[in-house]
């Protein structure tokens, strides 16, 4: 600051001498001389202000660079995959809640934990990578907006499910609204992968399979494994042959799968069936470990032919399995020979519970 003052004084003295010399040489009047002095001071102030503004701008840019989150294309692709996994989890929990609603005449509701589990965090969906490309920015922005609407859909569902005056039809409308959202989500994901990351059709299919279609290790699976099993343990999903849930909700699973697969190319019937079976098993895991009205409801096996005649008043078979420690995928034919796990899933593994309204 002292140096700046010295320079300013020296500049002023030099400028003063120049002005006086010009005034003497050209015979300027007093008012002309005063005007030159004022103009000179203004010029000095302007130059100093420009220097200060430049230094401030440079400092701000440096601060912005140092505080910006580290984000690149690979990280953002990974985060999109994580969002799909969370959406899959949300639907698995929702199908489980739908089962309990159907079984108890829509007079129950999920605990507060359910709403926390189904809410997506979108703070890491950074649009700044695409500020320089309008098409990419619009595509990614639309994807993010659809995820926001997905969150809002659960807010609407919460209001209707906790309302003891709401009818079954009103609750079903909200539920199916969320089920139908998967079509928009998958379509926007496909567009984002293609537009923002230049994915081919085959790459998109592979991405969606890894993060939604063929996911074995859901969040529940991973947390159960961390709680009860050694790190290297491989678990197989529990399986209930023709479970009450899978039979009751079969049409709903098929409707949901059609919306999922409309974004795929060259999908076989076998792939769709595999997805439905895997989805059903994931839902059964949650149902078998979700306390309802203070206790765990057994998930039983039913006869599909008998089920066509009536809903719950049918003969059921006690065929219930929990996680089995095994390295191989267990086929239906070998279910009778399965080894029970060293540690079974129990109420300590629940994610949410069901209570009466």
72-112 confidence digits (pLDDT tens)? 888 999 999 999 999 999 999 999 999 999 999 999 999 99
pTM here is: 0.72
pLDDT tens figures, 208-262: 999 999 998 888 788 877 877 777 777 666 667 788 899 999 999 999 999 999 8
CA distance 280 to 47: 73
């Amino acid at each position: 600051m002292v140096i700046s003052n010295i320079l300013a004084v020296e500049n002023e003295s030099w400028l003063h001498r120049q002005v006086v010399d010009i005034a003497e040489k050209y015979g300027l009047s007093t008012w002309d001389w005063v005007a030159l002095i004022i103009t000179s001071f203004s010029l000095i102030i302007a130059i100093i202000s420009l220097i200060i503004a430049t230094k401030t701008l440079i400092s701000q840019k440096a601060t912005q660079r140092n505080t910006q989150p580290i984000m690149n294309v690979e990280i953002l692709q990974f985060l999109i995959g994580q969002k799909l996994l969370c959406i899959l989890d949300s639907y698995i929990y929702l199908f489980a809640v739908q089962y309990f609603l159907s079984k108890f005449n829509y007079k129950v509701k999920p605990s507060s934990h359910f709403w926390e589990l189904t809410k997506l965090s979108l703070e890491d969906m950074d649009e700044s990578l695409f500020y320089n490309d309008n098409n990419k920015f619009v595509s990614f922005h639309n994807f993010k907006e659809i995820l926001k609407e997905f969150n809002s859909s659960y807010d609407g569902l919460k209001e209707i499910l906790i309302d003891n005056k709401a009818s079954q039809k009103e609750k079903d409308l909200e539920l199916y609204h969320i089920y139908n959202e998967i079509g928009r989500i998958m379509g926007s994901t496909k567009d984002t992968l293609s537009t923002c990351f230049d994915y081919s059709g085959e790459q998109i299919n592979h991405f969606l399979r890894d993060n939604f279609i063929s996911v074995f290790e859901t969040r529940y699976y991973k947390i159960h494994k961390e709680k009860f099993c050694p790190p290297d343990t491989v678990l197989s999903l529990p399986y209930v042959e023709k479970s009450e849930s899978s039979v009751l909700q079969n049409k709903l699973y098929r409707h949901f799968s059609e919306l999922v697969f409309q974004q795929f190319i060259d999908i076989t019937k076998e792939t769709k069936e595999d997805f439905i079976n895997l989805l059903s098993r994931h839902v059964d895991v949650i149902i078998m470990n979700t306390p309802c009205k203070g206790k765990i409801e057994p998930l039983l096996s039913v006869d599909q032919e008998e089920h066509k005649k009536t809903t719950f008043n049918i003969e059921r078979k006690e065929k219930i399995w929990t996680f089995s420690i095994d390295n191989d995928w267990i086929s239906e034919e070998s279910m009778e020979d399965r080894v029970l796990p060293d540690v079974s899933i129990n109420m300590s593994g629940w994610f949410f519970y069901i209570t009466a309204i």
